Amino acid sequence: MPAVKLLNANQPLLLVGGKPTIIPPQLQTEIERVATEFFSTSAMKPPNRLDLPFFAYGLFKPGQLGFDGIRELAQEVDLGARMQGVLFERDGVPLLLDSSDGETGEVAGALVTFHPDGAAAAYQKIAALEPERQYEWGTRRTAGGMEANVLISISSKGAHRIEETDWDGRKDPHFKEALAVVECVLSKGKYEMGSVERLMELQMAYMLLWTAIERYTSLRYHLRTNVMGKLRQMATEPGFQDALKRYVSSERSVYSTDAGEPEKLSGEKPKKALLYYYQVRSNVAHRGKALMIDACLLENCIGELLPIFRATIDRAFEGCKYNATMPPR
């Protein structure tokens, strides 16, 4: 049987018997499905007591990006729940500790009770997003006396205490201040088009925009690596797809630095569009001589991707709110 080897993660080619072979669409879909399942496996195990409700103080609170994955499994949500402890933050993710330097307080959150037949799936989704190196499961009582599962920080090393008792990922500077900086560079650049300084200015803005995008996909899907897998998931979001159609009106292509097959931008093909924008991110810094071409390319990309991303995160956060009138399962 000839050896089968994937040539390029971004290019649908296999090396079969020493010859490049295009992957059939059906096989490509199956490879993506298996890869998605592989990278969706839990980084930590679910808690021992699946019958207990979950105290959510971070990514899984209603209104936060993780809640969308467990919302349909929720039977009841108490939005006013509180629990003794203090909040720290590391890598932009909230961490709950019982106390700090002998001091404690109360942390705001939500008490989520799952449908009995959905609790295992809900806790599996929570475990799949949260990294084992940061958290461990514990049981604590809320201020109202309810026993609940809660994610406790393993350590506060490298973390800093935050004064807020009600953490809100929507306030992440990547989603506000960073995007304002990108917009400012795009519309009010300090340097003239065609100059090296303008190219560098646009490169910095584009890389900052991608830092924000990767931050979003980590909070939305999981906090581990596999950037491309998370981008493919982002491409399936209705908010991204609708915004792509709205802001991309023409088609164009970009080649990698090794002049392989081009990535093509189209408002009708979300996955390919994200690969196009990511390819620009990957190779534009290596084309130092084509200043005007690269600067124009970056302006176009920022001018499209910035409003697309803003629309995506706005719709995502809006879609993660809890509606108490949701019909029962």
Q: Rounded to whole angstroms, how far apart are CA atoms 287 and 295?
A: 11
pLDDT at 163: 86
Would you tell me how many other CB atoms lie within 10 Å of the CB of residue 288?
Answer: 10
Q: Which of 14-18, 103-107, 228-232, 247-251 has the lowest mean pLDDT?
A: 14-18
Q: Which of 24-28, 61-65, 82-86, 165-169 has the lowest mean pLDDT?
A: 24-28
Strands annotated E in the chain: 4-8, 11-16, 19-22, 54-56, 74-78, 82-84, 86-90, 93-97, 106-108, 110-114, 135-141, 147-153, 160-161, 252-254, 263-265
pLDDT for 43 beyond 70: no
Express as a percent the part of the chain with pLDDT over 90: 59
β-pair type (110-114, 135-141): unpaired
pLDDT for 211 beyond 50: yes
AA identity, residue 69:
G
**Are 161 and 103 a contacting pair, CB within 8 Å?**
no
Average pLDDT, the chain: 85
pTM of the predicted model over 0.75: yes
pLDDT at 26: 52
Q: Which of 225-229, 240-244, 322-326 has the lowest mean pLDDT?
A: 322-326
Would you tell me how many other CB atoms lie within 10 Å of the CB of residue 66?
Answer: 22
Contacts of 40 (CB under 8 A, 6+ apart): 128, 222
Q: Rounded to whole angstroms, how far apart are CA atoms 149 and 136?
A: 10
Give alpha helix (H) positions in the chain. 25-39, 119-129, 177-187, 196-220, 227-234, 238-247, 270-283, 291-319
Token readout for 283 is 């190779």
Q: What are residue 176's phi and psi, to 5 degrees?
A: -125, -80
Tell me which residue of 219, 87, 105 sits closest to 160, measured CA to CA: 87
pLDDT for 15 beyond 80: no
Instruction: Domains for the chain: give ranges and CATH numbers.
Output: 4-39 (no CATH), 54-167 (3.10.490.10), 172-317 (no CATH)
pLDDT confidence tier of residue 277, bands split at 50, 70 and 90: very high
